[in-house]
A and B are shown apart, each in its own frame.
Chain A
Amino acid sequence: MLLGISADTPKAQKKFKESQELPFTLLADADKKVAEAFGVMKEKNMYGKKVWGIARTTFVIGPDGKIQHIFEKVKPDGHAEEVLAYLKESPKGVD
């Protein structure tokens, strides 16, 4: 199960998903509560301005509900391959 989370509204998510033809579910975390719960809020430098935002982070959560692996400082390019490579090596696989 692949889930993407951002602070977008479901509507924006849908648009994004359609435009990018993303093969996974996008969840709307508008108030960023889940992002906070997972501790992925970071101070970032954007156009010379400091902002608080969601840092690209990927969690692999095992069937037992425990976090199996964390990818931090995720770069958009090539990350899918990285995750897939990890999942392939992982004995439990992904549904």
Chain B
Amino acid sequence: MVSRGGPSPEFELSLGFSEPDGAVDGVEDEGAVFDAGAFPDSGAELVPVVLVGLCVSLGGSSTVSMCAGADSAFSTFFAGSDPVARHTPVAIHGVGTLAELLCSAFPIVNKPRELPDRSPSYTVPESKAIGTGSALYALASQNLPLIMIAIGTSDTFPLASILRTATALGPSSFFRVFFLSPGMICGRSSCAAAAATKTKQDNNPMTAAHNEILQCRILEIFGSLESAVAAPDFVFSGEIPMKVNDKAPDFTLQDENEKEIALKDLRGKTVVLFFYPKANTPG
């Protein structure tokens, strides 16, 4: 994690895009590292713009008016940018406006957690953007100790071609942002609208095909957006968010005899944890 604070914070973004096979030729498994440290002056403005733009894709079209405005702004932001992301972006939004946009555009779980050593990530369990609304709600309704933001990507999304470097991440790579200050952001109304829109589009084969390449991701944000914009601290990771030397997230699960086993009870022992798909399945 990059150390926090300062007027010129350095951070790295990495975005992973994935589409169903053959849905979009040549855009499969796109991933890129976006080094915002190269343009520290505009760093604070950059990320909120990115998020808003992503939300547009989540909406699938300009039917989500709140996001639509940001869409054009976002396009402007990246139009003509160098494809390898070496460019210096122009900040086009004030922080206040961005916060406002964000506040009306994203689903939020209002329970900022304490600063973690490393935090788990939650990914929407759907490969299509269609129907992810319900998945988001499912996650949101669990009252996870996180603030979550859904972001989507699409083939038409400018980042897909612009943020392309040699650092290709797999289809499950994702995009995480950590904000350090406690506090809450806002409600989640607009993304509900986005979800509703998608459900409707699902019935139309044409738009459904288009939406197939959309993907929704969950983004974690800790703390208040406003202070985060002032002093962002970003961590983006690749395919597996847990890394060597991270503290393992604690859990309590039932074993095959329905006896509870908690990871923390196993301190002092080396634990080998196998994750495997359902028993007797090929995956």
Our verdict on whether A and B bind, yes or no, reads: yes
Determine if B246 and A58 form an interchain contact, defined as CB atoms under 8 angstroms apart. no
How long is the Cα–Cα vector from A14 to B122 in the complex, in angstroms? 28
Which chain B residue has the least Cβ–Cβ distance from A6? B276
Which residue of B125, B126, B270 contacts A1 across the interface (Cβ within 8 Å)? Answer: B270
Can you offer 20 A-B residue contacts whose CB atoms are under 8 A? Answer: A13-B279, A24-B274, A36-B123, A39-B239, A40-B275, A41-B125, A42-B239, A52-B125, A53-B283, A54-B283, A55-B275, A56-B277, A60-B270, A61-B263, A65-B264, A66-B247, A66-B248, A67-B243, A68-B244, A74-B276
**Most chain A beta-carbon contacts within 10 A, residue among B172, B254, B276:** B276
Interface of A: prevailing SS: mixed
Residue in A closest to B171 when the chains form the complex, CB atoms = A43
Give, as a whole number of angstroms, the nearest-CB distance from A18 to chain B. 9
Contacts of B242 in A (CB 8 A): 38-39, 59, 67, 70
A binding-site residues for B, Cβ under 8 Å: 1-8, 10-17, 24-29, 32-46, 48, 50-70, 72, 74, 76, 83, 87, 90, 92-95
Chain A nearest CB from B56 CB (Å) reads 22
List which B221-275 residues lie within 8 A (CB) of chain A. 239-249, 251, 253-258, 261, 263-264, 266-275
A26 to B255, CA, bound (A): 5
* Nearest chain A residue, comparing its CB with the CB of B126: A52
The reply to whether B253 and A27 form a contact with Cβ atoms under 8 Å apart is yes
Question: B268 contacts A50, CB within 8 Å?
Answer: no
Pairs of residues from A and B, 3 with the lowest C-beta to C-beta distance, nearest first: A37-B120, A16-B279, A39-B241
Q: Is the interface of B mostly helix, strand, loop or mixed?
A: loop
Docked-complex contact A55 and B172, CB < 8 angstroms = yes
Q: Are A27 and B255 CB-contacts (below 8 A) given A16-B279, A61-B248?
A: yes
| Chain B residues closer than 8 Å to A50, beta-carbon distance | 20-21, 127
Measured in the bound complex, the distance between the Cα atoms of B255 and A14 in whole Å is 8
Partner pick for B127 among A4, A15, A43, CB 8 A cutoff: A43
Residues in chain A near residue B282, CB distance under 8 A: 46
Q: How far is the CA of A52 from the CA of B196 in the complex (A)?
A: 22
Q: Is the CB of A27 within 8 A of B267?
A: no
Residue B280 at the A interface, CB < 8 A? yes
- 5 extra A-B contacts, CB within 8 A, seeds A24-B274, A27-B254: A1-B269, A4-B274, A16-B256, A24-B272, A52-B123
Per-position binary interface string of chain B over residues 125-167, scored 1 when its CB falls under 8 Å from any chain A CB and 0 otherwise = 1110000000000000000000000000000000000000000
Instruction: Judge if B14 is at the interface, Cβ distance under 8 Å.
Output: no
A1 contacts which chain B residues (CB < 8 A)? 266, 269-272
B248 contacts which chain A residues (CB < 8 A)? Answer: 38, 59, 61, 65-67
Q: How far is the CB of A79 from chain B (nearest CB, A)?
A: 8
Whether A3 and B272, one on each chain, are in contact in the complex, defined by CB atoms closer than 8 angstroms, is yes
Tell me, in angstroms, the Cα distance from A41 to B270 when the chains sit together. Answer: 23
